[in-house]
């Protein structure tokens, strides 16, 4: 089974808008692949969901940040993050994604973040866009 980490921005996009991120979130919900997360990434998702700019979006889909976090925990595997050198990526805010991927023995990182995508791979973990990841899971 494919093991993958989706960055927080991709999860947010998948929750609130149609398109590839939504398809990736749905695939995780259906168990098409194992979606990995850490406590740090869940905390980040929770923090972002509480931004005032998302209040109307949450209301529109009839959910709360807490209900989304509960559902997200149910469809992900919580892993222990690995230690990652601070210079592994241009933006230090991306370190938790790498830590999750390495700690969870991921096959892929899925992101729209250019600071991650420019790496292409990290410790033999492919870093893919949403479209590229969907092609991979469709092949299986």
Spell 43-65 as b/e; 16+ CB within 10 A means b.
ebbeeebeeeebeeebeeeeeeb
pTM: 0.95
Measured between alpha carbons, how far is 70 from 51 in angstroms, rounded to an integer?
18
Chain CA centroid to CA 79, Å? 13
Measured between alpha carbons, how far is 130 from 72 in angstroms, rounded to an integer?
18
What pLDDT, on the 0 to 100 scale, is given for residue 19?
Answer: 96
Q: Which fold has domain 3-138?
A: Rossmann fold (3.40.50)
What pLDDT, on the 0 to 100 scale, is given for residue 139?
Answer: 67
Q: Looking at residue 89, what DSSP letter applies?
A: S
What pLDDT, on the 0 to 100 scale, is given for residue 138?
Answer: 84
User: Residue 5's beta-bridge partner residues?
Assistant: 109
Domain spans of the chain? 3-138
Cβ-based neighbours of 134, under 8 Å, separated by 6 or more: 20, 23, 24, 27
In this structure, what token pair is assigned to residue 56? 């109307």
User: Per-residue confidence of the chain (140 residues) as pLDDT tens digits?
Assistant: 999 999 999 999 999 999 999 999 999 999 999 999 999 999 999 999 999 999 999 999 999 999 999 999 999 999 999 999 999 999 999 999 999 999 999 999 999 999 999 999 999 999 999 999 999 998 65
């Amino acid at each position: 089974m494919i093991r993958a980490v989706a960055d927080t921005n991709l999860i947010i996009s998948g929750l609130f808008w149609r398109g590839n991120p939504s398809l990736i979130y749905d695939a995780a919900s259906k168990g098409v692949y194992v979606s990995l997360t850490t406590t740090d990434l869940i905390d980040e998702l929770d923090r972002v969901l509480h931004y005032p700019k998302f209040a109307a979006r949450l209301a529109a889909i009839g959910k709360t940040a807490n209900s989304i976090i509960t559902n997200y925990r149910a469809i992900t595997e919580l892993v222990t993050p690995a230690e990652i050198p601070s210079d592994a990526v241009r933006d230090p805010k991306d370190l938790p994604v790498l830590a999750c991927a390495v700690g969870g023995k991921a096959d892929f990182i899925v992101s729209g973040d250019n600071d991650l995508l420019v790496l292409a791979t990290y410790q033999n973990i492919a870093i893919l866009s949403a479209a590229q990841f969907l092609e991979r899971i469709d092949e299986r």
